[in-house]
Amino acid sequence: PRLAVIVVAAGSGTRLQGGAPKAFVPLDRDSILRHSLRGVLAAPRAQVVVVVPDGFQDAARADVQAVSGDPGDGDGGDAVRVVVGGRTRQESVAAGLSALDADVDLVLVHDAARALTPVSVFERVIDALEGGAPAVIPAVPVVDTIKRVDENGVILAAVDRSELAAAQTPQGFRRDVLEAAVASADADHTDDAALVAAAGHDVVTVAGHADSFKITTAPDLDRARALVASRRP
């Protein structure tokens, strides 16, 4: 089966206040997007679609070229394609889906904001997909004790932590399953697994990784920068 990876990088990054759309904020001399592309391209050969905010196509192409040597201009059957995203993550995923080659039948959707996802996580998701799972996501145990609260912040109930898992990306799907779920989506979901589960499919989990955290706030950015510095030889 032919595999594709959609890297969603079209978020504004308002919670990060990094002075640019999140994917284009630097971790060291390289942007968040450039770091995530390194992980993506280390995964086995796949079509890669990068989804970015309008106006950032050239910046994304520069990142693609720096990592892969591919100009990403969409000419001549390039392995990497750059497209413009939408207002919500779900719209950005839909934009990525519409740029896939006809022969692709397995799709990973990866948050660019999870810039330091180890290749082993990609491999576990791909293995489960190739083993026949229609939908698979990496997940990690929840370390905090979680409460359900009302609109005033008063606790309604404790939630049994052993029943919880934090969802990460890359999330992998059979293409037909993801396309059907996106086409029939009635509400906006914060990840693709929720969309596919709402469409009635079982979604299995594989082990995620602590380094695969989503860079969302300024402290997350500090943590990512420290991790990058510590990995440097």
Instruction: Return residues touching ligand C5P (CB under 6 A).
Output: 8-11, 22-23, 51, 85-89, 92, 111-113, 214, 216
| Residue listed under structure tokens 């040597």 | 69
Cis peptide before 21 (omega within 30 of 0): no
Inter-residue contact 42 to 119 (CB < 8 Å): yes
Question: Nearer Cβ to ligand C5P, position 6 or 106?
Answer: 6
Question: Nearer Cβ to ligand C5P, position 86 or 118?
Answer: 86
Angle at 4 between CA 229 and CA 63, to 5 degrees: 40
The least distance separating ligand C5P from the CB of residue 7, rounded to whole angstroms, comes to 8
Nearest residue relative to ligand C5P (C-beta):
11
The least distance separating ligand C5P from the CB of residue 74, rounded to whole angstroms, comes to 19
201-228 residues labelled b (16+ CB within 10 A) or e (exposed):
bebbbbebbebbbbbeeeeebeebeebb
Question: Nearer Cβ to ligand C5P, position 2 or 209?
Answer: 209
- The C-alpha atoms of residue 105 and residue 97 are separated, in whole angstroms, by 11
The least distance separating ligand C5P from the CB of residue 8, rounded to whole angstroms, comes to 3
The least distance separating ligand C5P from the CB of residue 108, rounded to whole angstroms, comes to 13
Question: Nearer Cβ to ligand C5P, position 93 or 129?
Answer: 93
Tokens encoding 209: 């990784």
